[in-house]
Amino acid sequence: MMFQKKIFQKSILSGFSVQGVALLHSYLIKYFERFFSLMAWLVSLRCAFVKRFGRSSLLVTRLTFPHRYLIKYCRSAFFLMALLVSLTRYFDKCFGRSSFLMVRLAFLRPYFIKHRFEKSVFLTVCFVFPALLMNEASFAQSAKARTAVATGTRAGILRAAVTKVDITPETPKMLLGYAARQSTGIHDRIYHRIVALDDGVTQFFLVSTDICVISPSEYDHVAGMLQKQLGINPLNFWWTLTHTHSAPEVGVPGLPEAFMGDRYKHEVDTAYTRQVEQSLIQGIIEARNQLAPARMGIGWGFSQANINRRAWDIDGKASGGMNPDGPVDRRIGLIRLDKEDGSPLALIANYAIHGTVLGPDNLQISADVQGVVSEYVQEKIGVPMLFINGAAGNMAPIYSVYPNPRAGHLGQFRVLLGDKILDAYKKIAAETDTVKLFTGALTIETPRKSKLVNWPKDLANYTRAMPSGVNMVKLPVRFLKINEDLAVWSAPLELFCEISNNIRTRSPFPYTFYFGYTNGWLGYLATEKEWAHGGYEVETVSPYTITVEKDFTEPIVGYLHGEMKSAKPITPAAPEKTKKKMRKGA
C-alpha cells in the first residue's frame, strides 16, 4: 500500500495536467496490468458461472479462494485502478492520446484523497460509465465544462490565437485551376492561416489555405489525423480554400477528374500533399498552445471588386465573361479579434470572388487577389487576415484571366478590396470577451445527374443509390453559431451568390455568413433560373439536377431557424466579469 500511496502522491502533485495522467497511467500499466487482467478475468468468469450454474455450484466455489484473496489484499483499489486504465485505453483508442477525454480522466484523482476507495468506486460507477453512453461530441464538451477551472480557462470567456504557415513549394509543381500546367516560378508566397477559438467548453479551428480546391476525401483524411492525434472533433475543424487558380494541386483530384479527366493524367504529388497536411497540423498545434484571452466584434463592409461572370448572348446562352446586370454579393463579412488589452490579434474577412485575376497563361505560383489583399491588410493592421471566400460560383474579379499580375492590375485590388476591408474593420468595436460557440452539421441529399456515372471512388461516402435506381449526392453542410448574433454556414461548393443571398435574407440572425470552398469541393451549385441559360457552371462542372436549389436551400433555412436558433451551448457558472453585448459594426 505504501507504493500505491506514492503513486497517488506523484499524480496529485502533478495537478490536472496531461503529464499527471501520463504518469499515473504509466505506473498503472507497468506495475498492475497483470493483476488487473487477472482480477477482471476472475470476476467475469465467476459472474458467468453464477449465471450459468448457480451461486452454490462447485465451479463458483473453486473461484472463491483466489477471488477473496485478491479482494482481501487489494480491495477496491484494484477495481478503481482497473477502471481508470480501461477508460484511458478506450479514450486513447477512440479520440486520441491528447484529447479532452483523456485529460479529463484526471478529475477522478482528488477522490483518492478526499474520499475512501469505496466512495471512489461508487462515484466512478455512477458517473463515468453512464458518460460512455453519451456521444463523442457531447461527452467532450461536458467533460471540458467540468474541468474548465482546473485547466485555467473559464467557460464563456473567449480565448483565441492565430498562426500563419508558409506552404510555398521551392520546386516546380502542377497548378490547379485551368488546363494542366507546371509552375516556373513564384510571384507571391502561399500560406495556411489558422484561427483557434475557445469559449471554455468548445475549441474551434478555422483554416484558410491559398489553394484552389481539394477533394472531400482529403479533408476527411486530415480531419481524421487531427481527431486521432489531437482529439479535435471534425465538427470543429473547418478547412476553407481561397480558390486561387495559380497554386499547386493537393491530394487526389476528386470530382474534377470526373468532369475534366484530361487535366489529371499526371501522378498525384504525394510529397507536397504530405507537406501541406503536416504543416496544417503543426499550425493547429501552435495555435492551440498560444490560446490567450481575447475580444471579438463583427460587422459588414462593402466592395465592388467583383462582378457576375455569366454573360448572356442574344440566344440566352451563358458563357464566361462579364455581366454587370447579373446578381452579385458585394458584402464583406468581418470577424475582428483583439487581444485582452485591445491590440489587434487577427481578422477574418468573408467575400465572394474567384481567384482568377491570373489566367491560364500565368505559370507563377500566386495566391491571386485573395493573397494580395490578405498580405496588404496584414501590413496595415500588423496581424494576419484570413480571407474566406463566399458564394463565388458566379462571381469574378473585375479584372479576370490576365497572363501576368501587371496586365491583370493585381495590385489595384489592395484599394478595390483591401481598403474597403480596412474601412469596415475600423468601424468595429471589439467589445465582448463573453462568447459561446455552437457547432452543428446537416447532410442534404439531392439527385445526381444521370449521365454522371464515373463517380470517383474516393467519394463513395458522398453518394447513395436509391431503391428506384436514382443516385443521390450527399452534401455535408456545417454550422457555427457565435452567441446570438452570428451564424456561419459552410459547404464544399462553388455556390451561386443568389442562393447565399436568399438564405442570409431569410436567416433569423443579425449576421449570417457563408463560407464557400470548405472541407472539399463537390462542384458548382446553380439556381433553377440559371439552368435555362446552360453554360460551363451548369453543363460541365455540376453533378446536380435542376431541383438542387430547392433541395439545398430549404433544409438550411430550416436548420438556422430550428437547431441553430434554439441551440443552448453548455453553460457552467457565469464568469466573474459583467457580460457585455456584442457591438455591431457598420
Identify residue 83 by its one-letter amino acid code. L
User: Which of 205, 168, 34, 17 is CA-nearest to residue 107?
Assistant: 17
Buried b (16+ CB within 10 A) or exposed e, 51-90: eeeeeeeeebeebeeebeebeeebebbbbbbbbbbebbee
| pLDDT over threshold 50, residue 236 | yes
Average pLDDT score over residue span 421-432: 92
| pLDDT over threshold 50, residue 451 | yes
What Rg, from alpha-carbon coordinates, does the chain have?
A: 28
CA dihedral 477, 308, 318, 514 (to 10 degrees): 0
pLDDT band for position 156 (cuts 50, 70, 90): confident
Q: How far apart are CA 164 and CA 148, in angstroms?
A: 28
Average pLDDT score over residue span 435-441: 97
Give the orientation angle of helix 58-95 with respect to helix 18-53, to 10 degrees. 150
C-alpha cell at 552: 439545398
Residue identified by cell 462568447 is: 435
- Bridge partners (DSSP) of residue 80 are none
Tell me, what's the pLDDT at 558?
Answer: 97
Q: Which residues contact 230 (CB under 8 A, 6 or more apart)?
A: 96, 98, 99, 281, 284, 285, 288
Identify residue 574 by its one-letter amino acid code. A
- Bridge partners (DSSP) of residue 432 are 296
| pLDDT over threshold 70, residue 79 | no
Q: What is the pLDDT of residues 501-542, one digit of tens each?
A: 999 999 999 999 999 999 999 999 999 999 999 999 999 999
CA distances from 116 to 13, 72, 521, 550 (A): 19, 16, 56, 61
| pLDDT over threshold 50, residue 349 | yes
Say if CB 110 and CB 69 are below 8 A apart. no
The SS3 call for residue 85 is helix
Q: Which residue has the higher pLDDT, 527 or 18?
A: 527
